[in-house]
Chains A and B, each alone.
Chain A
């Protein structure tokens, strides 16, 4: 399947602006926008997708230019493949620094007004953050949907696990999830009788197995209760071996690279250990796969269907949502279309449609709404910002474990995703990182410089030193749940604008105490695991670290998870939420705010699968509204 570059390139700004026949205007080409565009088009609706980024990766040369940029980058941070684009900037972790009390740092795109400095990122390119994501795809647990009634924490969802189950299946099909049901059936996680994932689970890494040997079937004690722990594989949004039993025995056809022939790339994960920031072979799902499918379907419709045309306008930054003051309906979007990322020169156009879908992400969507003066009658626009808080612990295993091989992460410990302890402290899921200490220390490059410059090693001593130092690395990343808090928020401020004059997001965030109690316990949990493995603990949190947080006299470096959520929270009524269960704005009946921002809580689940599932639900509501 090849991305039909021509059909996506054909749109020009003026033609788009003059066109008043769009059923839906979608802002953002990430997974939410792609799924919705595909669903609407399949039902015959005309869709316009606006993408702020350049869209170079629609071609193979463009995609590979990202890879080349990554190879050549001295700082291999998680946005390093994606060139600076001052017209559609994105946060980058190397630009961060610790804040003094009450200080605001506006030196990088996302203004940090503290007190916690988050290194969370999202990616503003064609394909959105699915270009960068790691593609771990766990479902939320049934108990994650009602944390208020069960644990007295956060807020309950207006939906249950059962309400979302079928849409979870749709999302797993679209992403192409590799997992085995028997591995994922835990902690009341339910799957329908006979369900299998599209592809078989990816094997655990040798490192995972070495950790498993040390801890499997041991127990940990927490508030007087015992919890058995073991290493389990994660479900993954990347191609594995198709399961012939999928779809009642029809099997599953994986989608490989969409801008080169699949025989060359993308058929199956090759173990590039580079899911973040970019899969070199497109074995990992990115939303370009969904868009390619949608656009090809327009060119060559399936028998008996007449899909609606999809236009994709790139380098088009939505800058204002225009609302009709009488009806409250959105009448148009103002869009700044630029020619060159380096130049602020642009043309402002307005685009019209029957419905409007903001699908950028949980920072950019509320940013656009707030920049348009639309705070929501609940006053909650931009509030309840959530992201998983990550705590890292790292150690050296007693023997060589072959670190730096595999997908970024194949396995982990998920036994404390659920339990009665959640009334007191946050749950977490633990990732075993196949890429060693990289996230925490910059390994293996920092190991090299330390051995050469500090330990005065060269020749055979250096070579042996690297084996001992790198191949034994174990990094446990604790993904800790964060509950919604109205004071954690995205705002805008006219004094902070980007090159196009659009207001930039301003983030204020405090890691809630509930999560910090989970973090403090996570550190103890790591020590217990390391003791069972006989691993040398090398964990150290530097007080000058930008993410340094003190809790009960101990300091921890907390990292962001890029799992942004909560800024246009979903609920049962207009006064306590921004959108309804279809992600439709309570205030503007033809406006949908979709994505992680609608999620009232995130449990210990990476958000993409759940937000993708929600988009199927929303697409049905949109079609109903359009009919």
Chain B
């Protein structure tokens, strides 16, 4: 049921987009905002597939906001799989949102999607902007830097990588993992 409170509006769309994005990228809203790309991605999605589809995703997502915290994660993920990622219509868009944040690239949607829900004439693979490539999250996720940007400094490559910690990591990194790089095996 869509409540009044759950409505996506021009005023709250960015905030709702960030909340959804944080959930599906495992980066915090703070980190996502730090990329400076949120508005550009919102605009990209709107330009390529239309804002209504995004609003639909955000609305479906909004319905599950009640289960929070780490203990609520499995239930939320199951819900996202059934209602968003597993939706013929919303799934490909949601996956593209994940890929946008991680790489700065809008990937052309699957043909099956375009046949059923298209046409979407602007739907080709493209980099949103030079800055969006540089702000791709995948580099941060692996403790590296985008090739050709944000260089870590002379000789930094000789040391073990610093892989940042994140909430919900299935590998359960030890608490100090972001301070202490993994050691060379003895």
- Across-interface contacts of A273 in B (CB, < 8 A): 144-145, 147-148, 151, 157
Given A435-B147, A453-B95, A459-B25, A402:B157 Cβ within 8 A:
yes
Pick from A278, A405, A445, A463: contact of B144, CB below 8 A.
A405
Q: Determine if A461 and B170 form an interchain contact, defined as CB atoms under 8 angstroms apart.
A: yes
Pick from B125, B154, B157: contact of A206, CB below 8 A.
B157
CB B62 to nearest CB in A, in angstroms, measures 17
B53 contacts partner chain A, Cβ-Cβ < 8 Å: no
Interface residues on B, range: 35 or more
- Across-interface contacts of B27 in A (CB, < 8 A): 463
| Contact code string A260-287 (vs B, CB < 8 Å = 1, else 0) | 0000000011111110001011000000
Pick from A274, A281, A400, A406: contact of B163, CB below 8 A.
A400
B184 contacts partner chain A, Cβ-Cβ < 8 Å: yes
CB A398 to nearest CB in B, in angstroms, measures 9
Q: Determine if A74 and B26 form an interchain contact, defined as CB atoms under 8 angstroms apart.
A: no
CB closest residue in chain B, given A203: B158
Pick from B102, B126, B157, B168: contact of A271, CB below 8 A.
B157
CB A268 to nearest CB in B, in angstroms, measures 5
Q: Which of A358-366, A373-381, A466-474, A608-616 lies at the interface with chain B?
A: A466-474
Q: Determine if A67 and B148 form an interchain contact, defined as CB atoms under 8 angstroms apart.
A: yes
A370, B167: Cα distance in complex, Å: 64
CB A169 to nearest CB in B, in angstroms, measures 25
Given A273-B144, A444-B142, A470-B142, A463:B157 Cβ within 8 A:
no
Q: Determine if B129 and A72 form an interchain contact, defined as CB atoms under 8 angstroms apart.
A: yes
B134 contacts partner chain A, Cβ-Cβ < 8 Å: yes
Given A445-B105, A448-B99, A399:B158 Cβ within 8 A:
no
- Across-interface contacts of B32 in A (CB, < 8 A): none
CB closest residue in chain B, given A280: B148
Q: Determine if B156 and A209 form an interchain contact, defined as CB atoms under 8 angstroms apart.
A: no
Pick from A67, A69, A280, A462: contact of B98, CB below 8 A.
A462
Q: Determine if B184 and A274 form an interchain contact, defined as CB atoms under 8 angstroms apart.
A: no
- Across-interface contacts of A470 in B (CB, < 8 A): 138, 142, 144
CB A140 to nearest CB in B, in angstroms, measures 28
- Across-interface contacts of B99 in A (CB, < 8 A): 448-449, 452
A458 contacts partner chain B, Cβ-Cβ < 8 Å: yes
- Across-interface contacts of B147 in A (CB, < 8 A): 76, 272-274, 404, 435
B127 contacts partner chain A, Cβ-Cβ < 8 Å: yes
Q: Determine if A471 and B163 form an interchain contact, defined as CB atoms under 8 angstroms apart.
A: yes
A601 contacts partner chain B, Cβ-Cβ < 8 Å: no
A73 contacts partner chain B, Cβ-Cβ < 8 Å: yes
CB A479 to nearest CB in B, in angstroms, measures 21
- Across-interface contacts of A458 in B (CB, < 8 A): 24-25, 77, 80, 85, 94-95, 98
- Across-interface contacts of B69 in A (CB, < 8 A): none
Q: Determine if A459 and B168 form an interchain contact, defined as CB atoms under 8 angstroms apart.
A: yes
B139 contacts partner chain A, Cβ-Cβ < 8 Å: yes
Q: Determine if B158 and A205 form an interchain contact, defined as CB atoms under 8 angstroms apart.
A: yes
B131 contacts partner chain A, Cβ-Cβ < 8 Å: yes
- Across-interface contacts of A204 in B (CB, < 8 A): 158
CB B157 to nearest CB in A, in angstroms, measures 3
Identify which of residues 411-435 in chain A touch chain B, using a CB-to-CB cut-off of 8 Å: 434-435
B79 contacts partner chain A, Cβ-Cβ < 8 Å: no
| Contact code string A66-100 (vs B, CB < 8 Å = 1, else 0) | 01111111101000000000000000000000000
| Contact code string A188-210 (vs B, CB < 8 Å = 1, else 0) | 00000000000000111110011
- Across-interface contacts of A76 in B (CB, < 8 A): 147
- Across-interface contacts of A468 in B (CB, < 8 A): 171
CB A147 to nearest CB in B, in angstroms, measures 35
A278, B102: Cα distance in complex, Å: 23
Q: Determine if B151 and A460 form an interchain contact, defined as CB atoms under 8 angstroms apart.
A: no
Pick from A399, A404, A410: contact of B139, CB below 8 A.
A404
B153 contacts partner chain A, Cβ-Cβ < 8 Å: yes
Q: Determine if B144 and A281 form an interchain contact, defined as CB atoms under 8 angstroms apart.
A: no
Given A459-B77, A464-B169, A210:B184 Cβ within 8 A:
yes
- Across-interface contacts of B168 in A (CB, < 8 A): 459-460
Identify which of residues 135-168 in chain B touch chain A, using a CB-to-CB cut-off of 8 Å: 138-139, 141-145, 147-149, 151-161, 163, 166-168
A566 contacts partner chain B, Cβ-Cβ < 8 Å: no
- Across-interface contacts of A213 in B (CB, < 8 A): 184-185
B130 contacts partner chain A, Cβ-Cβ < 8 Å: yes
A449, B143: Cα distance in complex, Å: 19
B182 contacts partner chain A, Cβ-Cβ < 8 Å: yes
Q: Determine if B161 and A400 form an interchain contact, defined as CB atoms under 8 angstroms apart.
A: yes
B83 contacts partner chain A, Cβ-Cβ < 8 Å: no
CB A460 to nearest CB in B, in angstroms, measures 4
- Across-interface contacts of A67 in B (CB, < 8 A): 148
Q: Determine if A72 and B142 form an interchain contact, defined as CB atoms under 8 angstroms apart.
A: no
A185 contacts partner chain B, Cβ-Cβ < 8 Å: no
CB closest residue in chain B, given A81: B148
CB closest residue in chain B, given A402: B161
A467, B107: Cα distance in complex, Å: 22
CB A278 to nearest CB in B, in angstroms, measures 7
B37 contacts partner chain A, Cβ-Cβ < 8 Å: no
- Across-interface contacts of A270 in B (CB, < 8 A): 151-154
- Across-interface contacts of B157 in A (CB, < 8 A): 203, 205-206, 271, 273, 402, 405-407, 410, 434
CB closest residue in chain A, given B156: A271
A240 contacts partner chain B, Cβ-Cβ < 8 Å: yes
Q: Determine if B148 and A272 form an interchain contact, defined as CB atoms under 8 angstroms apart.
A: yes
- Across-interface contacts of B77 in A (CB, < 8 A): 458-459
7 of the cross-chain contacts (CB-CB < 8 Å) are: A74-B126, A209-B158, A400-B161, A402-B157, A404-B144, A460-B73, A468-B171
- Supply 15 further A-B pairs (C-beta < 8 A) apart from A271-B155, A407-B157: A71-B149, A73-B127, A74-B125, A203-B155, A270-B154, A272-B151, A402-B144, A406-B157, A452-B99, A456-B85, A458-B24, A458-B25, A460-B168, A464-B169, A471-B161
Query: A residues near B, CB below 8 A?
Result: 67-74, 76, 202-206, 209-210, 213, 240-241, 268-274, 278, 280-281, 399-407, 410, 434-435, 444-445, 448-449, 452-453, 456, 458-464, 466-468, 470-471
